[in-house]
């Protein structure tokens, strides 16, 4: 382990005061990677092997982060034309969002019945009672298993199996075969993304890397966002009852964010490391609590308040029109030129 990794181990195992200080420093953007990225398993062989199966506990932050890290590492070769250190990989949006959820306390048990996810308990525990963590499962495990099925990792030495949570076991799937039988369409969407990368984009990036046009990247983003939106659409009704554990402002924000992703997805918004880090600075850096009223939540920047208010208004408007607003937006974003304007609009809204 490097010096940075050892420091992170010390931080997690030392006092809550130090751990809190680490969280604060990380939230300021001093680290472009998700928290504890260096400690996450970076190879499938780094996970536990039992009975000739690779066992992954997706209810542990470090191991779920390892799922993302393996995806990033395995797909890095397709993004060499977009800068060094894999920064141009469009899968960065997934682990960075997961890291934001961890850093802001959104993966902890919101009912506080257990100490899962808290500094006085198991800080790395991901609670199955967390709406955010359950939604994220479908943006972590399903993409990962879709990639496995698509052959991104080549011939595996061991079959992969995910451990179930203590509650709601029937709401998740735990292997390629299990997920294929339960959610075939969703698996198809993620498999399609990784198959496009394996063949079409690999050809462009490596054979004609100097002449890669934005169209190929836009095409890849289209496949990725299609799968991303499908994951949210499937999980949203399934975990509706988990919103009861959240404050009303936080529950509203969760649903507003899920709705907002549909609009963002239509623009094929870039999800490389730098773009996502820049954008996430405008998201709330703590859980919303009762009494947090938009657009003047204390401790939030004007931009953060504006983004939260915009997401709320967008969600309400889409509801009032019966989803027509989203359909019109998606139709407007049907060309690459229009999507470019759409992305500019989103960036200007967040940063102005």
pLDDT by residue for the chain (352 residues), tens only, comes to 443 333 343 333 433 433 443 444 444 344 899 999 999 999 999 999 999 999 999 999 999 999 999 999 999 988 887 778 899 999 999 999 999 999 999 999 999 999 999 998 999 999 999 999 999 999 999 999 999 999 999 999 999 999 999 999 999 999 999 999 999 999 999 999 998 655 445 444 444 544 444 447 888 899 999 999 999 999 999 999 999 999 999 999 999 999 999 999 999 999 999 999 999 999 999 999 999 999 999 999 999 999 999 999 999 999 999 999 999 999 999 999 999 999 999 988 877 7
Dihedral (CA of 277, 31, 60, 150) sign: positive
Number of domains the chain is built from: 3
Query: Which tokens is 287 given?
Result: 């859980």
Whether 94 and 17 map to the same domain: the answer is: no
- 3-state SS record for the chain: CCHHHHHHHHHHHCCHHHHHHHHHHHHCCCCCCCCCHHHCCCCHHHCEEECCEEEECCCEHHHHHHHHHHHHHHHHHHHHHHCHHHCCCCCCHHHHHHHHHHHCCCCCCCCCCCCECCCCCECCECCCCCHHHHHHHCCCHHHHHHHHHHCCCCCCCCEEEECCCCCCHHHCCCCHHHHHHHCHHHHHHHHHHHHHHHHHHHHHHHHCHHHCCHHHHHHHHHHHHHHHHHHHHHHHHHCHHHHHHCCHHHHHHHHHHHHHHHHHHHCCCCCCHHHHHHHHCCCCCCCCCCCCCCCCCCCCCHHHHHHHHHHHHHHHHHHHCCCHHHHHHHHHCCCHHHHHHHHHHHHHHHHC
On whether residue 235 sits in a domain, the answer given is no
Query: Which tokens is 151 given?
Result: 């052959």
Segments forming the whole domain that contains residue 10: 1-31
Identify the pLDDT of residue 162: 98
On whether residue 190 sits in a domain, the answer given is yes
Whether 261 and 306 map to the same domain: the answer is: yes
Whether 146 and 264 map to the same domain: the answer is: no
Q: State phi, psi for 317 to the nearest 5 degrees.
A: -65, -40
Whole-number Å distance between alpha carbons of 183 and 35: 31
Identify the pLDDT of residue 323: 97
Whether 75 and 135 map to the same domain: the answer is: yes
Whether 204 and 154 map to the same domain: the answer is: yes
- Residue environment code for 151-172, b if the CB has 16+ CB neighbours within 10 A, otherwise e: ebbeeeeeebbbebbeeeeebb
On whether residue 328 sits in a domain, the answer given is yes
Whether 311 and 201 map to the same domain: the answer is: no
* Residue pair 225/209 in contact by the 8 Å Cβ criterion: no
Whole-number Å distance between alpha carbons of 199 and 128: 36
Identify the pLDDT of residue 349: 81
On whether residue 221 sits in a domain, the answer given is no
Dihedral (CA of 149, 155, 159, 163) sign: negative
Whether 20 and 157 map to the same domain: the answer is: no
On whether residue 230 sits in a domain, the answer given is no
Whether 38 and 22 map to the same domain: the answer is: no
On whether residue 16 sits in a domain, the answer given is yes
Whether 8 and 102 map to the same domain: the answer is: no
Whole-number Å distance between alpha carbons of 153 and 149: 9
Nearest to 190 by CA among 152, 133, 161: 152
On whether residue 224 sits in a domain, the answer given is no
* Residue pair 171/129 in contact by the 8 Å Cβ criterion: no
How many residues can be counted in the chain?
352
Whether 87 and 21 map to the same domain: the answer is: no
On whether residue 192 sits in a domain, the answer given is yes
Whether 93 and 4 map to the same domain: the answer is: no
Whether 168 and 266 map to the same domain: the answer is: no
């Amino acid at each position: 382990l490097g010096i940075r990794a050892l420091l992170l181990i010390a931080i997690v195992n030392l006092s809550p005061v130090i751990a809190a200080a680490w969280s604060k420093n990380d939230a300021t953007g001093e680290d472009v990677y998700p928290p504890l990225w260096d400690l996450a398993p970076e190879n499938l062989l780094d996970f536990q092997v039992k009975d000739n199966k690779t066992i992954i506990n997706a209810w542990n932050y470090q191991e779920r982060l390892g799922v993302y890290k393996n995806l990033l590492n395995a797909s890095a070769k397709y993004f060499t034309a977009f800068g060094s250190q894999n920064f141009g990989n469009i899968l960065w949006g997934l682990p960075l969002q997961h890291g934001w959820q961890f850093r802001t306390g959104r993966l902890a048990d919101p009912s506080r019945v257990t100490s899962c996810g808290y500094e006085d308990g198991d800080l790395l525990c991901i609670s199955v009672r967390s709406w955010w963590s359950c939604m994220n499962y479908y943006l972590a495990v399903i993409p990962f298993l879709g990639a496995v099925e698509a052959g991104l990792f080549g011939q595996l030495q061991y079959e992969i199996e995910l451990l179930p949570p203590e509650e709601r076991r029937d709401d998740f799937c735990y292997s390629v075969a299990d997920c294929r039988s339960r959610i075939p369409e969703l698996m198809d969407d993620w498999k399609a993304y990784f198959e496009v990368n394996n063949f079409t984009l690999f050809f462009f990036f490596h054979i004609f890397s100097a002449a890669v046009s934005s169209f190929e990247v836009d095409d890849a983003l289209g496949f990725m966002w299609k799968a991303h939106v499908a994951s949210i659409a499937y999980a949203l009704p399934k975990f509706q009852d988990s919103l009861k554990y959240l404050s009303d402002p936080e529950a509203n924000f969760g649903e507003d964010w899920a709705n907002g992703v549909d609009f963002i997805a239509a623009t094929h918004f870039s999800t490389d490391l730098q773009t996502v880090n820049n954008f996430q600075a405008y998201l709330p850096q703590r859980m919303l609590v009762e009494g947090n009223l938009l657009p003047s939540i204390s401790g939030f920047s004007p931009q953060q308040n504006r983004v939260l208010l915009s997401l709320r208004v967008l969600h309400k408007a889409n509801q009032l029109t019966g989803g027509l607003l989203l359909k019109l937006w998606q139709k407007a974003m049907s060309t690459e030129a229009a999507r470019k304007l759409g992305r500019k609009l989103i960036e200007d809204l967040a940063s102005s």
